[in-house]
Amino acid sequence: MPQPPTETPDDAFWPNDGRRDADLRTEAAALATLAAAVVLAKSGDFLSARRLTATVVFHAQPLIASRPALLRATLHALLMARGFRLLSRVVISITGNRVDVTLLPECSGAIEAPRRYDEARRIALLVDPRWLDRLSADDPFLVGWCDALTAREPGSIGSSGPTPRPRQLEPT
């Protein structure tokens, strides 16, 4: 007759299983890879930068939504690499809203900060390409946008628009 196993079953759900250490290592590797993607994008190699960023998104997607620094680094790398479709997919996975990025025509005036319009189920970004060339991970627009993306209740996928008020029934 077979003996019951003496050790615990799969430790994937036990608190001391080392998953936190693995998550920290994954986050560190993702941040380093995203930094390399930004360097590639700044040198003009947008395709390689998008490939690196896509690899990070594929492997670390659950962490991206839960770690603000990793989310900011991901959005920074995607904007720098002009990976607007993947940027939209990342934001959809967090908020349920898609992102439409429109690059403004280049002009000789002052560099404009991006303009963000939150609509029902959609975020529209109007971006000056010269702003993208100077974008840093601690840019106030990027920090504020990441804060707005993560300011929801965990697990909610509501739109970023105004929430409907509860209706009160009146007696007839």
Specify the pLDDT at position 29: 92
Single pTM value for the model: 0.75
Label residue 83 left, alpha or beta by phi (over 0 means left) and psi (-120 to 50 means alpha).
beta
- For 5, half-sphere exposure in the C-beta direction (CA atoms, 13 angstrom radius) is 4
Cα gap 18→160, rounded to integer Å: 36
**CA–CA separation, 106 and 97 (whole Å):** 28
| Backbone torsions φ then ψ of 52, nearest 5 degrees | -60, -45
Please list the pLDDT of the chain residue by residue as tens digits (172 residues): 555 555 444 444 445 556 677 888 889 999 999 999 999 999 999 999 999 999 999 988 888 888 889 999 999 999 999 999 999 999 998 888 899 999 888 777 788 888 888 888 898 999 988 898 889 989 999 999 888 888 765 544 444 444 444 445 555 5
Angle between helices 46-66 and 84-95 (to 10 degrees): 10
pLDDT value, residue 66? 85
pLDDT confidence of residue 165 = 45
Burial class (CB in 10 A: 0-12, 13-18, 19+), 122: middle
- Distance linking the first and last C-alpha atoms of the chain: 72
